[in-house]
Amino acid sequence: MKLNKVLVSAAALSGIAAAGTAANADTVSVKAGDTVSELAQKFNTTVEAIQKANNLQNVNFITVGEQLNIPANDNTQQQVQQPQANAAQVQQEQAAQQAAIAQQQAAQRQAQLAAQQKAAQAQAALQAQQAAQAAAAQKQAEEQAAQQAAAQKAQQEAAAAQVAKEQQEKAEQAAQAQAAAQKQAEEQAAAKKAQEEAQQQAAAAQAAKEQQEKDAQQAQQAAAQKQAEEAAAKKAQEAKEAAAAQAAANAKAAQQRAAQQAQAQQQQQKQQVAQQNTQQQAANNNQQSNNNNNNSNSSEAAAKAWIVAHESGGNYNARNGQYIGAYQLSASYLHGDYSQANQDRVANQYVASRYGNWVNAQKHWEQCGWY
């Protein structure tokens, strides 16, 4: 049933036994709290008359604002004389109204329970959706954390590999230096041994000579033999000195040839670099700008720092003959300007024109020992 249907209260029926006369009306507008029996009493008529005049299916249900026709009734004196019968009828109507009210309240409670269940289901669905969203967010956060951990691990492994590589290079350099020192010590020991042997031979020759001089007086044959031995020793000494002189001359000539070859190679490299600088001057200008940008790149910066460390230890004032500065550039490249800015600029131009970038220059250095 619709909730806007008003079940009229019977609370006012307690005074139904009171006799009275009220004016009749053609139609009335139902107000909240009105009942058919109350209207019948008010207008001195009967419930049956009002029901019949308005074709009411159920006298216990009337609507607020509904227009009811109230018929006239001339038998008011009889109604006043029979209050007990009217009271019984009102009680019956009251019981019916109370039953209807109870039924409506039960229906309202069922509707409220259904609404509460629906709200609880909606709340549970919302909570489940929120839980799913929270789980998805947590999963995404865990994936991001795993990615960050993997990236950090890769960086750490790369750094460890770089450190291990540098340590290995240092160990190799130390081993080479130790081998060179050991070789030099062996050569010095051999030279010292040869010198001792020569001294021993000289001492022995001197002793033999003295002995021969003493024996010369005793025997002419011994003197002749002594002269022969002296001649042989002299010849051997001369041969030895000639061999040493020839060896020294050969070594000097080899050094001169090596120096000439190194000078010729250096001159050729200078000519090649100068020719490349002339041919690629415009490209070098663009490359200089690119190199300045690439210096921010970690690999380029690391390669550049590596070369500087191996060439001069980062000392812009370092000198090694004609090679000057942190990059150990030839003095002819710097044109008398040994400032840090000019060294950086010339080094970048040299590496760009010869190797393309600092990473390639480092690779060449590692293979050949220079760049």
Residue 302 has pLDDT above 70, yes or no: yes
Q: Model pTM?
A: 0.25
The top-scoring range by mean pLDDT among 1-10, 163-172, 254-263 is: 163-172
pLDDT tens per residue, range 112-128 = 777 778 877 878 778 88
Q: Which residues contact 194 (CB under 8 A, 6 or more apart)?
A: none
Q: Given this model, what pLDDT does residue 351 score? A: 95
How far apart (Å, rounded) are the C-alpha atoms in residues 363 and 250? 37
Burial 9-42 (b: 16+ CB within 10 A, else e): bbebbeebeeeeeeeeeeebebeeebbbbbbbbb
pLDDT tens per residue, range 36-69 = 888 889 899 999 999 999 998 888 888 889 899 9
156 or 105, which is more confident: 156
Is 73 in contact with 49 (CB distance < 8 Å)?
Answer: yes
Residue 108 has pLDDT above 80, yes or no: no
H-type alpha helices, the chain: 36-42, 47-54, 76-81, 83-216, 220-279, 281-294, 298-311, 331-334, 340-354, 358-368
Q: How many C-beta neighbours within 10 Å does residue 333 have?
A: 20
Residue 325 has pLDDT above 60, yes or no: yes
Q: Given this model, what pLDDT does residue 17 score? A: 31
